[in-house]
Structure 1
Amino acid sequence: MSIWLKILQHYARHINIMKLQGRLRLWVCLASLYIFIMAIVHFFHIPLHSKTLHSHYDLTGDAIQKRRHEAVKKEADKIAKRAFNEAKVAMGDAEQVQILTVTFEKADEDGDGMIDLKELSKWIGAKIKEHLTLALRENFFMFTAVDQNPRNGRVSWEEYHVYFLKHQGFDDEYIHNHKENHKGMTREMKEAIMRDKAAWSEAARDNPEELSIDEFLAFKHPESSHATILSIVEETLSRLDVDGDGVLTEEEFSDPAMNEIPEYLTEEKFKEERIHEFRNVVDENKNNKVEKKELLMYIDPRNSHHAEKEAANLISLADEDQDGVLTLQEVLKHKETFINSKMIDAAKSFHDEF
C-alpha cells in the first residue's frame, strides 16, 4: 500500500507543478501583450481617452462645481416661478368646496364626520411646520435664481424687480425700458410692487439697496425669519413694558389699552384670554414674569399654542350649533374663512399677519 501511496503522491505533485507552470505561462503572455500594445500606442501616438467621453464624465473639481451650479439654477428657476405664479391663482367656489372636503376628511382622524379642537389643532400645527420648512427651502432657491447680475451673494432691488416682472409675463423690452410709474400696468400689479418695496425696506438692515440671504428670507417669508421674530419681540417689550425693567408682568401683558384687540372680542374677554395665555403658555418658569427668551418662544410660529388658538377661533366662528365640534356642512358654510386660514393656506395666512 505504501508503494501505491507514493506513486499517487508523485503524480499529484506533478499535476500541481503543471498547473503552476500553466498559470505562469498565461501571465507571461498577458504581460507581453500589454507591453506590445503600449509600444504601439507610444510609437503611433494613439490617444488613450475620448475627448467627448472625458468632457461628459469629467470628475475634476471645477466640472463638478459647474454641474452642481447648473442643477441648482434649474431648480431655483422652477421653484421661484412656481412661487410667483401661485400668488396669481384664484380659486372658484367648486374648487374651494373640493379642497375643503378633502382637507376635512384628512383632518378628521377618527372618521366620525366631525372635527374637534384636538384634531384641528394637530392638523393646523402640521400645516404650519410644513410651510415653514418649505419657506426655508424656497428662500435658498429663489435667492439663487434672483442673484444673477452680478452673482455676488446679495440681491439688489433691481435684480428682484427684473425677476418679478419677467415672471409676470413682461418681455425684455418693457422690463429694461419701463418708467417708474409702470404706465399701463394693472392697479393690482402696482399695489403688489408697492407692498414689495415696503417689505424690502423693513427687511434691509445693512444696505437699503441689497439683501443678504437671511434678509431675503425676512423679505419673502418674515414668519420664518429669526431676525423678524426677534424684532417683533423687541417691539412688543418696548410697547408693553411700562416700568422698563425688561420683563412683562401679567398686568402689562394683558392690558387692553396697550394691545390691539380683535374685532370679535370685548376688552374684558381679551384681557381674560391674555391672562390665561400668560399663566399657561408664556410664563414657562412660573415666576409671574415673562422674560425676552420666553416671549421669543411664545411669538415663534412653531409654538403649538398658535395652532391651538387658530383652531379655537375657527371653531368659535363656524360652530353654529355650539356643540364644540365642526361638521363639513359648517365648514363649507364658512368656506371663505377656512380657505384663508392656516387649515388650508398657512402661507397666505402668515403673510397677511406679518
Structure 2
Amino acid sequence: MKLVRPVLTVLMCCYALCVVYATSKPTKGSRIHHEKPLSSHEHNDEDHEYDHDAFLGEEEAKTFDQLPPDESQRRLGIIVDRIDEDKDGFVTEAELNEWIKKAQKKYIYDNVDRQWKDYDTNGDDIISWDEYKNVTYGTYLENPTEEEGYDYKKQMSRDEKRFKAADKNADNDADREEFTAFLHPEDFDHMKHTVVQETMEELDKNLDGFIDLEEYIGDMYKGDEEDHGEPAWVTAERDQFNEFRDKDKDGKMDLDETKDWILPNNYDHALSEAKHLVSESDADKDGKLTKEEILNKFDLFVGSQATDYGEALNKHDEF
C-alpha cells in the first residue's frame, strides 16, 4: 500500500513552508478564492475572441480558430445538442450558464482524468471512499503511527467529510463529477460550505468555533526571529480584521464572516456572458435560443476567419 497525501494537504504544506522561510513577507489573500476570468481578451463588439474563450474555454477556442466556417458551424451544432440538457429544442440562459462554467473548468476535469486510474483501483469507472482511503492512507492504515507535524487521522476524517459532501446521491461512491468536486471544492457551489468549514477548523486553534484576531494573524505571520517588530502589512491586516472581517464587532469571525472573507461575492462572469449570448442571438426575443438561432450567430459563439485548419480537423474524436 502506498500513502499519498491529499492534494489540499500538499498545497497547505507548501503554504506553510513559504511562511516559515518568508515570515517578514505578507501572505495575505492566499486563502481568498477569486473567480478565474473567462478570457484574457477584452469584451467588445469589434471581435468575438472573448465570447469564443468564454463559450469554449481558451484551449478549445484555439482549436476552433483553425477551422473554416462550415466546419466550425457543424461542430457548434453538436455542442448545442449537448447544452440542451432537457432536450426540449431550446437553449436557455441557465443551460448556457452551466455550459460556460463547465468549459471554464476543463483544466480541472483534465487534472482529474490524469489521476483517475490511480484511485479507481478496480477499474469500474467509479471511485469509492474505500478506494480513495486505501490509496491515500494505505500505509498509515496498516501501521497507524503519526508523522511529526502531520496528523493523518485528522486529515482522513476531513477527507471523509468532504467526500460525503461531494457525493450528491449519498451512495458512498464518486463518479467523475463528484470526484472533481471532491478534489476541487472551491469551484463548485454546493461544496463552498465545506471549503469554509475546513478553513475554520484549520485556523480555530482554541476550538471555540470561531476565528479570533490572533488566529487570523497567526495564519499569515509567525513572527520575526530577529524581533524587528511587526511589519506594516501585519498591522494593516489587523485593521482589516477589525474593520471589515469582523462584521458584528465581537472580536471573532463566525462561519458566515469566514465565508465572506475567503469566498467574496465575485461578479458572476459566466452568467453575464450567458445573458449576453442570449441577447445577441435571440431573434424572436422569447428569452431562449433555438439551434437555428445559435447557428445563425456561429461567428459570435465559435466562428473564425482562420484558414490554417488541417491539423485541427484531425483532433477531438467527439466531433
Task: Indicate the structure (1 or 2) with the bigger Cα radius of gyration.
Answer: 1
- Answer 1 or 2: which has greater helix percent: 1
Structure with larger RCO (C-alpha < 8 A, sep 6+): 2
